[in-house]
Amino acid sequence: MMALSPASYFMPWNCISTKAGMKRQSCHFFYKFQPDLPRKYTESLLRLHTFHFLGSCNEDSWTNSLKGKEGLTRLSDRIFTKETRRSMRAWLRECVELVDATEMPLLFHSIRGRFFHSERKRSHSRRLNNKKRRGWLFLVASAMVALMVFSWTTDFAASTAWALTEENLIFLEAWRVIDRAYVDKTFNGQSWFRYREDALRHEPMNSREETYAAIRKMLASLNDPYTRFLEPEKFQSLRSGTSGAVTGVGLEVGFDSSSGVLELVVVAPVVGGPAARAGVVPGDVILAIDGVNVEGMSLYEAAQRLQGPDHSLVELTLLDKGPKQFRTIQLRREKVTLNPVTWDSCDVSKDGDNFKLGYIRLSTFNQNSIRSLKDAIERLREIGVAAYVLDIRNNSGGLFPAAIDIAKMWLDKGVIVYISDSKGVRDIYESDGTGVVASTEPLAVLVNKGTASASEILAGALKDNRRAVILGEPTFGKGKIQSVFELSDGSGMAVTVARYKTPANIDIDKVGIPPDFPLPFSIPMDGEGFCKCLEETTVECNFSPKVLFTRP
């Protein structure tokens, strides 16, 4: 049998702890298996520094008991009772299936410490005859050999005489996040413990870049495009975006295919921001960012290139909306507060009656969305609007709680969304009348294929409860919910933690929400342009207000 070097017995010293809770757990371990064990043995254990396994076979098994810094070399042979042997055999059977190579050194040391290094006092030897002792040692030795054959090759045994490096620990941190939070407990049909073992054995992690590459490869094995790794800079950018402030040029961008070609267009510039001051207007087409062609670039990548350090410069190549002329401008980035809501009012006529229509554009769900939307509704109500249009085209989502609270503004009662995980339906979010702002006025919701995630939760709730008419084109179809987790080095991960269904119990993932009626692609995504399509019959995007509130 291969001998283990002392260096392989212990985890890094930053794992050492002597918390009172661990001491209590140590006592629990002894008294669980040998209630009459002399007190001096338990007291000697509590004086040792203690630490945990990297993982565990079972929370109730011996792998969760604590291991002494010097090994449990002073335990009496009297722990070899009949009940203890039965428990040990059950524990070994369980661990054969679950323990992996990173835990093997500690497991071996634990067994050796408890069962091979007793003091062999004369009184203890008399209690166990030679036949029973040989049988028990043979059982333990056989189990150890089986474990070695099962999960430890010779080359890995040589390599695990290490203490885990900082890079290894960051990788394991990311692995644990997926293990605990990921919605699919089959992990795309693979053994998640085996993946950890193989990655620590084969993946290079000698630098932070290599560790990040190993984490990305691990996440890619899940085949889930929404579970992704974020470097520290991208993670901070994501957090600042949901908090309502970013450092950039003050542009809301989206994709538009009305010309027959998928183009990255300006949806709306932030009032007073660098782009607005330079004359960028809704509908301008962005062709390149800092000389990099945007063709094939995702919205996330485009947003990342537009953002950057405060006072840094970025160059945009634009195709002007009006005269269709190319121009290149340089903008200086600055901290911009994102206002997710813009609004306007339209004077329209329906069946010979003139009335005011309130147009509200909701571009994202962040910490400012709820307050801003409520303010917009109340201000439009003050000027006498009789109906509302909520435009969530190219709204790719955001904070889940914000979507729930905004749905409650329009619904006085009814289910908003069903949340499910690997075990089935977990939560039901409903409106109980609290938070209602406008539950009776006619409402139309504009969607397109850029409407995704939290936006689809809102659209599905309003449609299935027959609170609004949905117009436009089928939505993106993202029926999964992600949570964001920060790692110890400042990087982070967006992890799919649940699935959702609409109130009609429809899974929209990869399908989307179909609209009640289509709308022309050319309808602008700003209040002034939208109102012009309703008020002027000569424009290309003109359509009748009757379409907005006609039930299918």
DSSP-derived secondary structure for 381-420: HHTTEEEEEEE-TT---B-HHHHHHHHHHH-SSEEEEEEE
Q: How far is the C-alpha of 96 from the C-alpha of 113, rounded, in Å?
A: 19
Spatial neighbors of 62 by CB under 8 A, at least 6 apart, are: 29, 88, 91, 110
DSSP-derived secondary structure for 199-250: HHHHS--SSHHHHHHHHHHHHHTTT-TTSEEE-HHHHHHHHHHHHTEEEE--
Q: How far is the C-alpha of 450 from the C-alpha of 476, rounded, in Å?
A: 6
CB 113 within 8 A of CB 71: yes
Q: How far is the C-alpha of 84 from the C-alpha of 335, rounded, in Å?
A: 65
Active site residue ranges: 453, 478
Tokens linked to 387:
């109906």
Q: Which long-range contacts (CB under 8 A, 24 or more apart) does 278-284 make?
A: 278/329, 278/331, 280/251, 280/316, 280/318, 280/329, 281/321, 282/321, 282/524, 282/525, 282/526, 282/529, 283/321, 283/524, 283/529, 284/318, 284/319, 284/320, 284/321
The number of angstroms, rounded, from the C-alpha of 369 to the middle of its chain's C-alpha atoms is 21
What single-letter DSSP state applies at residue 365?
B
Q: How far is the C-alpha of 427 from the C-alpha of 453, rounded, in Å?
A: 17
One-letter identity of residue 204: P
Q: How far is the C-alpha of 179 from the C-alpha of 149, rounded, in Å?
A: 25
The number of angstroms, rounded, from the C-alpha of 214 to the middle of its chain's C-alpha atoms is 18
CB 497 within 8 A of CB 183: yes
